[in-house]
A and B are shown apart, each in its own frame.
Chain A
Amino acid sequence: MLHHLLDQYPYYLSTILLALGLWGMFAKHNLMKKLIGMNIFQVSIILLFISSAAKFGGTVPTFDPTIGAADPALYANPLPHVLMLTAIVVMVATTGVALAFLLIIYRRYHTLDEQEILRRMREP
């Protein structure tokens, strides 16, 4: 049981983060908090990918003459890292766009509370 947990704790951790992020996005009223929830949600997926790449006893995935290329289990898997570098760039851009919108909204409504903004939008 304990061994199982030690083996797989990154997966449980990222699941908890995923749920936390989703809860933040849908339960919070403040738009900034929703955005923070979105970031937590994204980070949990990055963690999931990265932890899938780790190998016990594996090393940096550059060719090392003393280890050789015969046994791929001796190197960590580089592909998820590369994918996540791209995903991080995408997520930074998403956050940037969202922050820009929050700024516009705050300048117009002087609040970031979603209920309050929706109430004011309904006014003619």
Chain B
Amino acid sequence: MMNHLPVIIPVALLFFAFITFLCGLWRRSLLFPLSLTGISVSLAAAVLGLVRVLQYGPLHYFLGGWAPPLGIEYVLDNLSAFMSVLVLLVAFLSMIYSRQSFLKEVPDKINALYPLLLLMLAGMAGIIVTGDLFNVYVFLEIASLTAYAVMGIGNDKAPVAVIRYIILGTVGACFYLLGVGFLYFVTGSLNMADVASLLPGLYGSRLVIAAAVFIVIGAGLKMALFPFHIWLPDVYTYAPSGVITFVAPLMTKVGAYILIRMVVTVFLPEYLNNTLPIMSIISWLAAAGIIVGSVMAIAQKDLRRMLAYSSVAQISYIALGIGLANPLGLIGALLHVLNHAFMKGCLFQVSGGIRYCTGLWQIPQFRGLGRRMPWTMAAFTVAAISMVGIPPAAGFFSKWYLVLGSVQADNWIFVAVIVLSSLLNAVYFFRVLEKVYLGEPGENPAVTAAVDPPGSMVMPMITLAAGIIILGVINAVIVTNILQPIASSLS
């Protein structure tokens, strides 16, 4: 039974996507409980898997009993167990949160929404647990296609934003496929571990260089690394606010996961570091993305668009940590994947909550909301403090590791960039907090009549906000037990 854990994680979601769709045709009230059950089953398998992996080492599952490298292998190691728990936990909270939001914003579309969301999560879970390069492509496209569909269910502008995302996303996936193709031409294998063992003798080949470049660009497009981020702000702004609480914290992280997986498992870091300047190009692009994203976020009046640009900056932190390619940088990146999923999940839930109760999303109109919506705004404050990087909130610790990694790489410019961007974060978050708490409520009836959203929406926000503080307090436990073994493969 335990050996089946890696495959249960995506398959339970696929199975429930199907069941949910069929039962949803019969009774719409079944959609939500069935979706939540599906996520719970996967989450339970992922948590069990994480505990098991930490005790006994990686779990391998051979699909159809065919041993790798001939067959497809699903692997649950430290990295994939950590990521699957993270993705499913945030998805679980977002699923509880988004129920009311869907009923208010897109009530006639929920028949399609729930199965599609489950399919999207199945794609993400598949990317995380698979140990096969081509399988990653297939799951990546499952996740992307369903993401396009759910994000297109928005207002009139959403389809236009999404069609640009489709084009760039397809280029990203195709570049990844091309890179995998080159790796296959050189090694004759698609299994990650097998490719990794075959590659050291082949590093002279120009095909391997091409493969590395294509895979990195493909993953960069999927994770919205600067300057490939142009699709992101529009998509995040116009998608339904319930959907965006799934996509914003998770989708770009999965792109980052592919990059981390390639760096940790497939290519040797010395190769990516010394033979090619790819990793330093990633880190410089990331440094540019941090500054550009933060500055653009300051310029926005729309809360959702501000959060979208802030996502660009935060994703760049993760890319910066990966690009540093030393253990401390990678720990920072992985910790930031975790922290940012919690922070952005919380922030987008708050933004959706404000929209649910008041219909507002322009920051200048938020005057005095702090007194009307105390719980929502408390969650927002905690997440904002964490984004700025004030301890004991979790955001401080991932930035701390990134700074340590930059120092270890002797790159003081990155240290300056991280510190500067914290100041910029402070500018755009405290601007909102000032309006919310210190601004006098005007005559605006939307504000004066506002109350906290229903409990099923407030609870996930508060849970995430509490999670941010807890993650900050116990970050040493996570780093020593889970992340250190992953990062040690780089040293």
Interface residues, chain A, with chain B CB atoms under 8 Å away: 22, 25, 31, 34-35, 38, 41-42, 45, 48-49, 52, 79-80, 83, 86-87, 90, 93-94, 97-98, 101-102, 104-105, 108-109, 117-118, 121
Which of these binds chain A: B48-56, B159-167, B319-327? B159-167
Report yes or no: A105 in contact with B149, Cβ–Cβ below 8 A. Answer: no
* Pair B171/A41 contact, Cβ less than 8 Å: yes
Cβ contact within 8 Å between B170 and A38: yes
- Per the bound structure, the CA–CA distance linking A93 and B123 in Å amounts to 15
Once the chains bind, are A45 and B160 in contact (CB under 8 Å)? no
A78 to chain B, nearest CB (A): 12
Chain A residue with the shortest CB-CB distance to B152: A101
Q: Is the CB of B181 within 8 A of A42?
A: no
Please name the residue on chain A nearest to B166 by beta carbon.
Answer: A98
Which B38-86 residues sit within 8 Å CB-CB of chain A? none
A22 vs B134: C-alpha distance in the bound complex, in angstroms?
A: 22
B104-141: which have CB < 8 Å to A? 134, 137-138, 141
10 extra interchain contacts, Cβ-Cβ under 8 A, other than A52-B185, A102-B163? A38-B167, A41-B174, A45-B181, A49-B181, A80-B181, A83-B134, A93-B141, A94-B145, A104-B152, A109-B160
**In the complex, are the beta carbons of B181 and A105 less than 8 A apart?**
no
Contacting residue for B137 out of A31, A87, A97, A117, CB 8 A: A87
CB contact under 8 A between A105 and B160, given known A41-B174, A42-B174: yes
Q: In whole angstroms, what is the CA distance A101 to B178 when docked?
A: 26
B156 neighbours in A (Cβ, 8 Å):
108
Is the beta-carbon distance between B174 and A98 smaller than 8 angstroms?
no
Between A31, A79, A97, the greatest number of chain B beta carbons within 10 A of the residue's beta carbon is seen for: A97
A–B pairs, 5, beta carbons within 8 Å: A41-B174, A45-B178, A49-B181, A98-B163, A101-B166
- In the complex, chain A residues whose CB is within 8 Å of the CB of B134: 83, 86
Interface check B148, CB cutoff 8 A: yes
CB-based contact A22/B171 at 8 Å: yes
Could you tell me if B166 and A105 are in contact, using CB atoms closer than 8 angstroms? no
Question: Nearest Cβ in chain B — how far from A73, in angstroms?
Answer: 13
Q: Within 8 Å CB of B145, what residues of A?
A: 90, 93-94, 97
Q: In the assembly, what is the distance between CA of A49 and CA of B184, in Å?
A: 10
**Mask for B169-195, Cβ within 8 A of A = 1, else 0?**
011001001100100110000000000
Residue from B163, B167, B178, B185 within 8 A of A105 (CB atoms): B163
A21 to B159, CA, bound (A): 22
Q: Which residue of A lies closest to B157 (CB)?
A: A121
Q: Which range holds the interface residue count of chain B? A: 20 to 34
Give Cα A87–Cα B173 distance, bound, in whole angstroms. Answer: 11
Cβ 8 A contact of A48, one of B137, B162, B181: B181
A83 to B174, CA, bound (A): 13
Separation of A101 and B163 alpha carbons in the complex (Å): 7
- The answer to whether A104 and B174 have CB atoms under 8 Å apart is no
The 4 residue pairs across chains A and B that have the minimum distance between CB atoms: A90-B141, A104-B159, A101-B159, A101-B163
Could you tell me the distance between the alpha carbons of A109 and B141 in the complex, rounded to whole angstroms? 28
Inter-chain CA distance A49–B185, complex, in Å, is: 9
CA distance in complex: A87, B163 (Å): 20
Given that A49-B181, A87-B177 are known contacts, is A25 also in contact with B152, CB under 8 Å in the complex?
no
B160 x A118 contact (CB < 8 A)? yes
Query: Whose C-beta in chain A lies nearest to the C-beta of B135?
Result: A86
Closest residue of chain A to B180, judged by CB?
A83
B204 to chain A, nearest CB (A): 20
Within the complex, the shortest CB–CB distance from A17 to chain B, in Å, comes to: 12
Tell whether A52 pairs with B149 under 8 Å between CB atoms, given A105-B159, A105-B160: no
B167 engages A117 (CB within 8 Å): no
B170 x A86 contact (CB < 8 A): no
- Give chain B nearest CB distance to A85 CB in angstroms: 11
> How far, in whole Å, are A80 and B138 apart by their CA atoms in the complex?
14
Point out the residues of chain B lying under 8 angstroms from A101, CB to CB. Answer: 148, 152, 159, 162-163, 166
Chain B residues near A45 (CB-CB < 8 A): 174, 177-178, 181
Contact B177 A94 (CB under 8 A): no
B174–A117 CB distance below 8 A: no
Contacts of A48 in B (CB 8 A): 178, 181
- Which residues on the A side are within 8 Å of B160 (C-beta)? 105, 109, 117-118, 121
Residues of B within 8 A of A38 (CB): 166-167, 170-171
What separation, in Å, do the CA atoms of A93 and B116 have in the docked complex? 14
A101 to chain B, nearest CB (A): 5
Q: Are A97 and B148 in contact (CB under 8 A)?
A: yes
CB distance from A111 to the nearest CB of B (A): 11
Contacts of B138 in A (CB 8 A): 86, 90
Distance, CA A80 to CA B189, complexed state (A)? 11
CB distance from B143 to the nearest CB of A (A): 12
Q: Smallest distance from the beta carbon of A12 to chain B beta carbons, Å?
A: 15
Q: How far is the CA of A91 from the CA of B166 in the complex (A)?
A: 12
Q: Nearest chain B CB to A90's CB is how many angstroms away?
A: 5
A44 CB to closest chain B CB (Å) equals: 9
Interface centre among B134, B160, B162 (most CB of A within 10 A): B160
A16 to chain B minimum Cβ distance, whole angstroms, is 15
**Assembly CA distance A41 to B172 (angstroms):** 12
Q: In the complex, what residues of A have CB within 8 A of residue B159's CB?
A: 101, 104-105, 108
A45 and B218 alpha carbons, distance in the complex (Å): 14
Find chain B residues with CB under 8 A from A117 CB: 160
The reply to whether A34 and B178 contact each other, CB–CB distance below 8 Å, is no
Q: Is the CB of B149 within 8 A of A25?
A: no
Is B166 in contact with A97, judged by CB distance below 8 angstroms? Answer: yes
Distance of A54 from chain B, by nearest CB (Å): 13
Nearest Cβ distance between residue B115 and chain A, in whole angstroms? Answer: 15
A42 partner residues in chain B, CB cutoff 8 A: 170, 174
Whether the pair A94, B141 counts as a contact (CB closer than 8 A) is yes
